[in-house]
Amino acid sequence: MTVRLYGRDVGYGSLAVVTRGFKQVLEGAGLLEGFVALDRSGGSEEDDSPPGAQARDAVFTGNLNMVRMMLKRAQHRRHWVTVTPNSTHVPRELLAEVLTLASPRILSASTWGTTIIFDALKEMGCEHEPPEPDQPWLTFKYEGTDSTKRFEVHTVRHGVSGFAPVAEEIAKTRADFDRGEFRVVHFSTTDGERKGTLELVQAWSSLRRDLPERARLLLVLDHTARAALLERLLNKDMKLPEQVNLLPRGDMDPAMMSKLLCHMHVLASPSRGEGFGLSPLEARASGVPIVTTDVTGHSAGHCIGPGAHLIRRSYELAPIDDGPAAVAPIVHPADIAEALHYVYANWKAFSYTANYHAAGIAKEWSWDKQLAPLVGHLR
């Protein structure tokens, strides 16, 4: 065993889900020597010195502002750090912290994210070195205060585990559709603009006349996302439409989440900015149709294919509240409405297609398969 993992461990937010995916794969490969839970008292699930303080490799999947936890009473020879930009902005000061670690290796969740990180590193004065033949990662040289340091950037996509169609729930959902019901679900745990929640509400308002009376948009939001949406609606002198319901974002394991997703007719993810975007992948692995963008982290490949319908892409960039000078593609409410209406009009075909391909998607996008290249480097 040669790896100590550092990451979130509480709840089912994206950071905790990613940490569990890494932990599952590292344990299965017999590589995990210790785990530091960054969101527990003392920084650890056990004490301040869990096993693995001398492990050769440290893998970090938490918030970048805690990256120096890997130096707390520990000595590792290599440091692997996940960096997942949501827009064109990457905090330079946090990237600089990563570069101070011994033998740093950056893990990006998409080719788009790798491009953003590449540009940021170049702006910071890092020199890109030509790759060796068949080398799938990027190598950089950085002139430190007292030495020259080389480091790597790897593209390692995220995965899915434990999600599957719930046949009984899907049968009920299809019967509900025949009775004139149509449920669209959307998830957000951020107060930022990047999830496209406001644009989705605007799209729903314009779409209502084209949907059955019993159609509902269910916004599953944590308290920060809920407060941010209500404030934005107020600023635009808008009210939440009657057919839109706000639901709290509770903690649900994959089995519970699969059942919830299968109760829905469509998952809507009109994001402008994503580091990766787990919800569309979880829905597809559960056999649920999705309406989604394919920009920023959504461009990793998991948002296209059977059961998925893309919102028309806008190549126009506009400012986004994700850091200084950050921009991201615009998502127009009219394009969201058009995509939702198309899936509604063809929903039965989308449902059967999504369900048929769910097992294959879960296998292709399993954490084991997505992290296999990283496991090879860690052995």
Encode pLDDT of 260-309 as tens digits. 999 999 999 999 999 999 999 999 999 999 999 999 999 999 999 999 99
DSSP assigned state of 234: H
Q: How far apart are CA 288 and CA 164, in angstroms?
A: 10
- H helical segments located in 179-251: 197-207, 223-235
Q: Among 100, 125, 155, where does a domain finish?
A: 155
Q: How far apart are CA 275 and CA 351, in angstroms?
A: 27
Whether residue 371 is contained in a domain is answered as no
Number of domains in the chain: 2
The 10 Å Cβ neighbour count of residue 134 is 5
Residues 176 and 149 placed together within one structural domain of the fold: no
Residues 104 and 216 placed together within one structural domain of the fold: no
pLDDT in tens, 298-340: 999 999 999 999 999 988 999 999 999 999 999 999 999 999 9
Strand, helix or coil at 125?
coil
Q: What angle do CA 305, 205, 209 make, to 5 degrees?
A: 90
Q: How far apart are CA 236 and CA 169, in angstroms?
A: 38
Confidence class for position 49, pLDDT limits 50, 70, 90 = low
**Model-level pTM?**
0.95
Residues 136 and 226 placed together within one structural domain of the fold: no
pLDDT of residue 202: 97
Q: Counting every residue, how long is the chain?
A: 379
**347-364 and 278-285 are packed helices; what angle lies between their axes, rounded to 10 degrees?**
100
Residues 4-27 have a mean pLDDT of: 94
Q: What percent of the chain has pLDDT over 90?
A: 88
The 10 Å Cβ neighbour count of residue 165 is 21
Whether residue 369 is contained in a domain is answered as no
Residues 121 and 86 placed together within one structural domain of the fold: yes
**278-285 and 254-262 are packed helices; what angle lies between their axes, rounded to 10 degrees?**
80
121, 94 contact by CB (below 8 A): no
Q: How far apart are CA 293 and CA 304, in angstroms?
A: 9
| Residue 125's CATH number | 3.40.50
Task: Tell me which residue range forms the domain holding 179.
Answer: 167-364
